[in-house]
Amino acid sequence: MTRQAWVNGVYVAAEEARISPFDRGFLFADGVYEVTAVYNGQMVDMERHLDRLERSLRELKFGTMPNRKELEEVHRRLVADNGVTEGYVYLQVTRGAYGQRDFVAPDKPKLTCFAYAESRALIDTPHARNGSRVISVPDIRWSRRDIKSVGLLAQALAKTEAKARGADDAWLVAPDGFVTEGASSNAWIVTKDGEIITRALSNMILAGITRHALFDSLGQQGHKITERSFTLEEAKTATEAFTTAATGLVTPVTEIDGVKLGSGKPGPTTRGVQKLYYTAIGADVSKAAPWVNE
């Protein structure tokens, strides 16, 4: 089946999708994006993703918003028409193309909007089962990481370096030695006493939707999450760690810079968090992820 995309209001075959090289997204990374998980053919937390998209656009003073009802419909239709039961929808909105390169943004932008859906395993993946090994790299990004900007060069370089060094992913470390987040995820650690820790929200990190959902699910179970910064050194002494993102959901981290955490295998707290999150998005864990109970 030909993969279908949606560009500026029109559904087209993905390979036919076109935008102008003068697009400000291309010239200046002047755009934002969202990646929303799909499970059982349903969007996961779409409203929160669209809220964050609108916030990102407001923070960048776009002045114009895409039509929210239309975006909701586009998500649903891309999922249905592309037969996606498990995967994600990618959505990007930029400040548009004007046939020239002008640093100054237009007052009333004509937005470029692009979306596509892709099938991909989210729950039963090697990393979700066995954990991922991360390296640390300096966080060289700009200081508005709360905006989900398409300016992702630092993250792309971090992940490329991780791969070149035989690791699975990268965690970003600020000059003060504190971990900010994963290259495309929020970072969490678990102490030997079972305390679950993740960095508090600020301009230093993205307010993850998966992170938010875990606060809800863990809170309902009466589990406390400590929101505080932790250093790379502390992370290496943690007994467990994991990341959260729409793409990897809850992914155990078993090694940081070659240092094994705890037993070197996904630990019981992380397994519990995976189970909770998978259940929250409608999975029958005994079938979809029996390994969380092992």
The yes-or-no answer on residue 159 being catalytic is: no
Of 33, 88, 90, 277, the catalytic one is 33
Per-residue contact flags (x/-) with ligand PDD for residues 233 to 252, judged by CB under 6 A:
-----------xxxx-----
Neighbour-count burial of 60, counting CB atoms closer than 10 A to its CB (0-12 exposed, 13-18 middle, 19+ buried):
middle
The yes-or-no answer on residue 54 being catalytic is: no
Total chain residues near ligand PDD (CB under 6 A): 14
Q: Which residues contact 261 (CB under 8 A, 6 or more apart)?
A: 236, 238, 239, 240, 241, 253, 254, 255, 267
Binder of ligand PDD out of 25, 87, 96, 208 (CB under 6 A): 208
Smallest distance from ligand PDD to CB 137, Å: 13
Segment 26 to 45, residues that bind ligand PDD, using CB under 6 A? 35
CA distance 277 to 60: 32
Q: Closer to ligand PDD at the Cβ: 209 or 256?
A: 209
Q: Closer to ligand PDD at the Cβ: 113 or 187?
A: 187
Q: Which residues contact 125 (CB under 8 A, 6 or more apart)?
A: 248, 251
Q: Closer to ligand PDD at the Cβ: 50 or 97?
A: 50
Q: Closer to ligand PDD at the Cβ: 83 or 142?
A: 142
CA distance 257 to 154: 19
Per-residue contact flags (x/-) with ligand PDD for residues 156 to 195, judged by CB under 6 A:
-------------------------x--xxx---------
Determine the interface stretch with ligand PDD among 91-99, 109-117, 204-212, 224-232 (rule: CB under 6 A). Answer: 204-212
The yes-or-no answer on residue 276 being catalytic is: no
The yes-or-no answer on residue 181 being catalytic is: yes
Q: Closer to ligand PDD at the Cβ: 27 or 214?
A: 214
The DSSP letter of residue 105 is: P
Smallest distance from ligand PDD to CB 45, Å: 8
Strand 169-173 to 132-138 pairing: parallel
Per-residue contact flags (x/-) with ligand PDD for residues 255 to 274, judged by CB under 6 A:
--------------------
Of 78, 111, 206, 261, the catalytic one is 206
Q: What are phi and psi for residue 233, nearest 5 degrees?
A: -60, -45
The DSSP letter of residue 249 is: E
Smallest distance from ligand PDD to CB 187, Å: 9
Residues facing residue 91 across a β-bridge: 34, 115
Write down the H helix ranges in the chain.
24-28, 46-59, 68-81, 126-130, 153-164, 209-220, 232-237, 268-280, 285-288
CA distance 289 to 272: 12
Smallest distance from ligand PDD to CB 192, Å: 26
CA dihedral 269, 237, 182, 48 (to 10 degrees): 40
Contact in structure between 172 and 141 (CB atoms under 8 Å): yes
Positions annotated as catalytic residues are 33, 148, 181, 206
Instruction: List interacting residues with ligand PDD (CB under 6 A).
Output: 35, 181, 184-186, 206, 208-211, 244-247
